[in-house]
Each structure stands twice: as C-alpha cells, then as structure tokens.
Structure 1
Amino acid sequence: MSGRFAGKHVFVAGASSGINLEIAHGFAREGARITVLSRSEEKIAAAAQGLRDAGATALGIACDVRDYPGLEAAYADAVAAHGAIDVLVSGAAGNFLAPAVKLSANAFKTVVDIDLLGTFNVFRASWDHLVKPGASLIAITAGQAVHPMSFQIHACAAKAGVNMVTKCLALEWGPAGVRVNAISPGPIGDTEGMRRLADPDREKQIKGRLALRDYGAKRDIADAALFLSSPEAKYITGTILNVDGGSDLGDASANAVGE
C-alpha cells in the first residue's frame, strides 16, 4: 500500500476495538504495516482480520499489558514480522463509575494497573525494538488526568500518572531521537467509554456544554495520532494534545455566539 506511512511499522496496544482500532486503521490507510495487541485472543484476531480485509499487512497478538514478559515476547514476534517499530500507541484502559466509599482497593488497583502500569510496560518493553532516531510514541490519556471527577478517583489517578509517564519519557528518551506524546480525547461518539460513562438521555446537555457542540469521532483521534507521528510534528514531544471539542476549557453552555 502507498501512503505517508508506507513501509513503517505501527504497533497499537489495546486495539481490539474503539479508538485504538480506528488509530490502527488510520495508519493502515496510509500504508503502514500494523501490529495490534489486546488481551482477548478472539477479539484481537478479529481486529487483525478486519485490517487485512481492508488491505493492510497486519498481525494480531493476544497479550495483557500488565504482563511484562508477555509484552517482551510480543515485541519480538512483531519485529520479526514487520521490522523495528516506527510508531507505538499505548491505549489499553479500564474504567467504570464508582463512588470512592464503594470502591475496593482491588478495583482501584485494577484500573491503575491497566492504565498506568500498562502504559509504562508497553513503552518500557518497546525500547530495544524502536527505530532510533525517529520513533513516535503516543499514550492515550483522558481529561480525568487534570480534572477531578466524582466516581472516577481510580481513572483520575491512573491518567494523571500516564501524563507524567509521557513527559518523563519525553525528557529521558528525546536525546535518542524518540518522541513521546499523549492524546487526550474528549467525548467520542460510538465508543464503549461513552456508553459506560454518559447517559444517552443526557446527550443534548453534554453537547451543549462543549465549545464545538458535538461529540468527536474516532477518526478525529486517529488523525491526531497520524499528525503526531508525521514529519510535521518532528519538534513536538512531551505534549498532551487535547482532541476534545473544547471540553478542557470548561462549561461553554453560556458562550453561544451572538447571545
């Protein structure tokens, strides 16, 4: 396949569905060779087949991002198939609504282990397999990293850590020519996260609080990942890129033009 990323190897963790799978498809449309990874063997096999059906060269690997030795083996297999990694996206995540007084320590730890430890594992285990200089690493974070939210103490803590992992690795790995950034999506329609965290009956109210008055699309996040990994972004590292319709700015419901 031809395209901006023809011949490049793009590895996406947490890519059995949703935003991360759309990111994989975005790079595939631009000619990249794709490795997708997720813990469900059945789901990741289907995701890889979908990429191949769309014309991509794609490999699916079943592995839990909490399993560091498993990730080491996954990288070895991916590199054997597609060569050194040019772009790496760490997007595995877990979340649910829960008041802190009803949240068990184990439930808190589960989200932190998937989101925060998983991001560190995905990035750290990749080091020996990255194109250096030139690799682009992207974490998928969330607005909870900087905005405290009720019933989200576990996700807020985990995503705050993801932001700092991103920035610390950007400092440490920049001298090797490896860039590390993060994308913070806002409300993205037709995703599992929105189905779990947002009541459909409140859709109009939620959109009315956004500066751009609508949910984003999975393609918006994929396009941001393509930009961050392109030559046009070669001087960007350690950045948390909000792709959120202005939700980070606060409540825009009273800011309609001309009112």
Structure 2
Amino acid sequence: MLPKGTFSGRVSVVTGGSSGIGEAIATELARLGSDVAIVGRKQDQLDAAATRLREHGTQITTHSVDVRDRESVEATVADLLARWGQIDHLVNSAAGNFQAKPEDLSPNAWSAVVRIVLDGTWNFTQVVGQHMIERGAGGSILSIGTTAAMIGGPSTVHSTSAKAGVIALTKSLGVAWAEHNIRVNVMTPGPTEGTGAMTFLFGGEGQWDEQVQAIPLKRMLTRQEAADASVYLLSDYASYITGHNLVIDGGRSLGRAGGVFGG
C-alpha cells in the first residue's frame, strides 16, 4: 500500500472506471490524492461510482464515452484538459468479453470485442499520449491484461487476441515513448473476485471452483490486490519500469496443463 499523497496534484483517467478492477484502481488513485475522471458507457453506473469515490475528498468527474468512437475520445480528453490542464495517468480498463466456440463467432461478435479492447485502448492511449508529449512532463499509462493472452483462451479467442495486441502495443510504446518519460505497462490479473468478468464468464455451477483449482495459491485475486499492483506501476515508485507486463495470478499461468475452458 502506497502512502497517502502519492498522487497529490495529479490527474488520472480511468476507462471502465465504474465497476470491477477499473473502479478499484480509480478508488485507490483517489485515496492516494489524485483527481480522477472515470469513463464508461452507462451514466447511472458512473454516477454511483463517482459518489463512492468522492468520499476520499478529491475531484471526480464522469464521462459517458464509447471508447471505440475516436471523435468522442478526442472530445473527452479536450474537455479534461480544459478543466484541469493536464493528464498524468491513464488506465485502460474498458473491456468486453463473452464465451463462444471459435467456429461459431460471427464477424460482428469478433469486431465488437476487438474494437473495445484493442481499438479503445489505442484511442485513449494515443490521444492522451499526444498530450503528454506536448506537455513535456512525462506520465504513466497502464492497461489491464488477461492471462489468456499468454496461455490461450479456447472460448474467448476474440478477447484473448485483442489483449495480446494490447501487450504488444505496450511493449512498442514503452520503447517509442521512453524519450518523453512516458512509461507504458500492463497489469495482468488472474480470476478476480467481485468482477463482472467472473460472473459473466464463469457463472455456471461449479465453474468458480474449477477456476480456483487451476490456481496454485488456491484462491482468487481480490480487487484491492489488483488495485495495489496497478497504482504501484502508475506511481513514481515504478519510475524505472516500462514496457512490462506484471502478471498477478497466483501462479495460474505457470505450467497449467491443457488449461481450463474459458482461459
């Protein structure tokens, strides 16, 4: 746990910030002193999350945005800069996923998920990165990954492929933007308690137990553990880390023979 004030005077943008790991990261950033803009598609969820975040005393704004819509992303970033004059940290947590046999995926189903996960990450990363470069004060960018991008996801090939692209994007930008003191990293969680992904992907009888049995530590990650790792990578305490994929999955991705369906 980082000390209070770690992010004082900073401005952070969190896509997918109204629920799950995204909200947990946004909450921890606010607790540590950052003003936070949370981005999502459903205004009611954004408003509810903002009410919880404001308990920490920093400024919280909400933005209903489809990350696939480049013009909306550009307008949102412009509004944030008009308000605060700076963006120091970006978290790409917006995602979409569902289970399906690869042979049954329609072109629209493939495109919908890839555009949210990969295109959406690129849209916010490039637009915010352009600001960081122009401002000349550096910054840090973090995207949320999935272990399936490394070991395969038999029933989530659309999301798995997109997240693998996010890892490649991160490594590429870690090199390209190092000269601007912009650090770009990925935090890859294992199955995490209290997230929509676990409910939607593994909500069937016995599926949670099956996931836990594939984890050497025999428990799921907590949202707080995911947030703690994320804010570390965003913070100045990680000032020499860039282009890195930090996997926190309780050993799940190590030598898992055959895999668990869903990945």
1:200 Cα deviation from its structure 2 partner? 4.9
1:50 Cα deviation from its structure 2 partner? 2.3
Aligned to 1:159: 163
> Partners of 1:132 and 1:179 in 2: how far apart?
13
Q: What SS is found at the alignment partner of 2:256?
A: coil
Give the one of 127, 130, 147 matched to 1:128. Answer: 130
Q: What SS is found at the alignment partner of 2:79?
A: helix
Are the equivalent residues in 2 in contact too, given 1:132–1:178 (CA < 8 A)? no
Aligned to 1:48: 50
Q: What SS is found at the alignment partner of 2:118?
A: helix
Describe the superposition over 1:8-50 as per-residue Cα deviations: whole angstroms up to 9, x where unpaired. 1111011121110110000100011111111222222222232
Describe the superposition over 1:54-94 as per-residue Cα deviations: whole angstroms up to 9, x where unpaired. 43310111111001111111111112223311111011100
> Partners of 1:19 and 1:127 in 2: how far apart?
22
Q: 1:45 to 1:249 in 2, by over 3 A?
A: same
Are the equivalent residues in 2 in contact too, given 1:9–1:83 (CA < 8 A)? no
Superposition pairs for residues 1-259 of structure 1, below 5 Å? 3-130=5-132, 132-198=136-202, 199-251=204-256
> Partners of 1:236 and 1:139 in 2: how far apart?
14
Are the equivalent residues in 2 in contact too, given 1:35–1:59 (CA < 8 A)? yes
Whichever residue aligns with residue 52 of structure 1, its letter is: R
1:127 Cα deviation from its structure 2 partner? 2.3
Q: What SS is found at the alignment partner of 2:188?
A: strand
Q: What SS is found at the alignment partner of 2:253?
A: helix
Describe the superposition over 1:142-163 as per-residue Cα deviations: whole angstroms up to 9, x where unpaired. 1121122211111111111111
Q: What SS is found at the alignment partner of 1:84?
A: coil
Are the equivalent residues in 2 in contact too, given 1:37–1:44 (CA < 8 A)? yes
> Partners of 1:54 and 1:234 in 2: how far apart?
25
Q: What SS is found at the alignment partner of 2:250?
A: coil
> Partners of 1:219 and 1:82 in 2: how far apart?
28
Deviates more, 1:126-135 or 1:161-170: 126-135
1:177 Cα deviation from its structure 2 partner? 0.6
> Partners of 1:158 and 1:38 in 2: how far apart?
19
1:202 Cα deviation from its structure 2 partner? 3.3
Unaligned residue ranges in structure 2 (runs of 5+): 258-263
> Partners of 1:116 and 1:22 in 2: how far apart?
21
Aligned to 1:257: none
Deviates more, 1:180-189 or 1:143-152: 143-152
> Partners of 2:69 and 2:205 in 1: how far apart?
35
Whichever residue aligns with residue 5 of structure 1, its letter is: F
Taking structure 1 as the reference length, the TM-score comes to 0.92
> Partners of 2:104 and 2:181 in 1: how far apart?
45
Q: What SS is found at the alignment partner of 1:76?
A: helix
Taking structure 2 as the reference length, the TM-score comes to 0.90
1:222 Cα deviation from its structure 2 partner? 0.8
> Partners of 1:166 and 1:54 in 2: how far apart?
31
Whichever residue aligns with residue 234 of structure 1, its letter is: S
